[in-house]
Amino acid sequence: MSIKVGDRIPAVTLKHLTESGMQEIGTEDLFKGRKVVLFAVPGAFTPTCSAKHLPGYVEQAEALKAKGVQEIVCMAVNDPFVMQAWGKANNVAGKITMLPDGNGTLTRALGLEMDGTAYNLGLRSQRFALVAEDGVVTGLYVEKPGAFEVSSADSVLKQL
């Protein structure tokens, strides 16, 4: 079952790379007491994700923050090293937190996984964006397969 507006973000712990090395990050801490936009992509360095989805959030980071968003998080079912490299390649420093969900733990907990085996991708995340305030989902924008409309930075910005 998929998460919906009014639901609390599930409590899971993930690992990501920081300047201090590999660190654990819990969703309870990530979302607690703040307004967060989390957007997810099927994969780092993939065509739409790299050409449109992530760059749109980089470009609109200040506008989102002007609407009260305190953190913008990009999630993909990729390992921490890939997410760090993808973030560097897109100059996200200071704008977007790159959150690897390497085992799909958060993706499955949200009920937003997709089967990419036909494309040799395995389990991946659907393309979506959500807005959460103090850990509770206040907006959820899940794309239809192959689409890129409702989860873009511009679209989320219009909803805030």
Question: Could you read off the pLDDT tens digit of each residue along the chain, which spans 160 residues?
Answer: 799 999 999 999 999 888 888 899 999 999 999 999 999 999 898 888 788 899 999 999 999 999 999 999 999 999 999 999 999 999 998 899 999 999 999 999 999 999 888 888 888 999 999 999 999 999 999 999 889 999 999 999 999 9
Do residues 103 and 7 make contact, with C-beta atoms less than 8 angstroms apart? Answer: no
**∠ CA 21-8-45, rounded to 5°:** 45
Q: Which domains does the chain have, with CATH numbers?
A: 13-159 (3.40.30.10)
- Give the whole-angstrom CA distance, residue 138 versus residue 160: 10
What token pair was written down for 113?
Answer: 């996984």
30, 41, 44, 49: the catalytic one is 49
Do residues 40 and 75 make contact, with C-beta atoms less than 8 angstroms apart? Answer: yes
Give residues with Cβ within 8 angstroms of 133, minimum separation 6.
Answer: 34, 35, 36
74 burial (CB, 10 Å; 0-12 / 13-18 / 19+) is: buried
- Confidence (pLDDT) at 18: 84
Record the pTM.
Answer: 0.94
Q: Is-catalytic flag, 49?
A: yes
